[in-house]
Structure 1
Amino acid sequence: MFICGELFMFGAFFIVYISDRSQAIELFNRSQLELDQFMGAFNTVLLVTSSWCVARAVAAVRAGHDNKAARLLLVGMLLGLGFLVVKYLEYSAKFAVGITMMTNEFYMFYFVFTMVHAAHVLGGCAILALLWRKTRAGRYRHDMTGLETGASYWHLVDLIWLVMFPLLYLLR
């Protein structure tokens, strides 16, 4: 149920963004040109790779390979933390030239969306850390519900970025 609520919340964010963008296309296009597409694309690679690791971890637990699963969960979490480092670098570059969420409507959306998403990534990393610890202890050998739920949340965070990245960085 929580995951559905998250999808509805971000879905509403995206609808409002598209609606407001249609009212100020030139402003949004100009502002988007100031974003670092390479950093956004790199973050996409980090999250997709992280989700792949988490999916492989679930498969590894199913196959009885807890140690392999734990390593994959750890890599997935580290890639998520890498995403946050890249977002920090992006924010720092914007703040250094005086761009904030108060600069214009596009940047209000950019900072609010990406900061809310970053909070979800941070929470997801905490979940992956818990899954890693429990997987190392063999807690999912007989009941994988917690592992599968945590993995589903992580994939949701990834899916949201896969929509957010083109909307914010690429759509013209």
Structure 2
Amino acid sequence: MNNYINDLKIKLESIQDYYQNELKKIRALGAHPTILDNVFIDYYGTKMPLNQLSSIKIQDGTIIIINPYDKSKLKDMLISLEKANLGFNIQNDSDIIKIYVPPLTEEKRKFYAKKAKDLKEQAKINLRNVRQEINKKINLDKELSKDQINDYLKEVQDFIDHKNNLFDNLLKEKEKSLFKI
């Protein structure tokens, strides 16, 4: 009957991965290469991450310099960067791309902090839904004794509590990085 716990673990990891990826999208730093993690380029019919097709450097903490390995793909990179809607000033500087990243204003920091809190709340709702789904399956299993049911329900709750604590800590880290100057 470990299938319940295995199913739970898979679903919890999926929720955690999604939450962490969404948190990464919230910009807390100035210019940083991770800002470009979700930018993909059509490279001869294959979607490739920008960071695999170019060197990415930071200049003066506010400018991202992208130097394509294949200069013929510069135009495709520019198009993908524009489509990514990063909200930054992107310039073609002959054979490199420069992205000017302004510092975060207090208003933007608060906006991103609220967005991070909303993400955490959604992740907790997802955890609650998974817990209810797994608990229902356990309670409906006729082959389990009352003690086994209680043991499984406690184990499910322990996993949920662990993820809730992890999500709280991830939010605290994000808020700390948002308001660090």
TM range (shorter): 0.3 to 0.5
Query: Which gives a bigger RCO, structure 1 or 2 (Cα 8 Å, sep 6+)?
Result: 1
The structure with the greater share of residues assigned to helix is 1
- TM-score relative to the length of structure 2: 0.41
